[in-house]
Amino acid sequence: MPTTQQPRMPLALFVERILLVMTVLGLTCLVIGAILTIAGRASNNLFVDRVGVYMLLVGIMLAAMRVFYWFAEEIVGRGLKSMTEENTSSNH
């Protein structure tokens, strides 16, 4: 019985999927954390308030990582673009 190998996922697609999961998880943590923080403060329940604050922090951290990756991607893209423009202008 021959075994068929599935084609490997390209690295760029894998990174994009991880970033998508990070973004969704970060936004979910932000929303749930905000709701728990408001509910905990309204009911004067310190435990619920703390859990909400920690979830907010995790959500902010995940969103910040996503934004940082986007900035790094933009900087690298512009650097590569300027390098190719420089090489093409020096070749002519």
User: What's residue 59's pLDDT?
Assistant: 94
- Provide the residue count of the chain: 92
pTM of the model: 0.70
Q: Domain limits of the chain?
A: 20-86
What is the residue-averaged pLDDT of the chain? 87
User: What's residue 54's pLDDT?
Assistant: 96
pLDDT band at 91 (very low <50, low <70, confident <90, very high): low
The phi, psi pair for 10, rounded to 5°, reads -60, 150
pLDDT over 70 (residue 3): no
More confident residue, 1 or 89: 89
Residue 5, sorted as left (phi over 0), alpha (psi -120 to 50) or beta, turns out to be beta
User: What's residue 92's pLDDT?
Assistant: 61
User: What's residue 36's pLDDT?
Assistant: 95
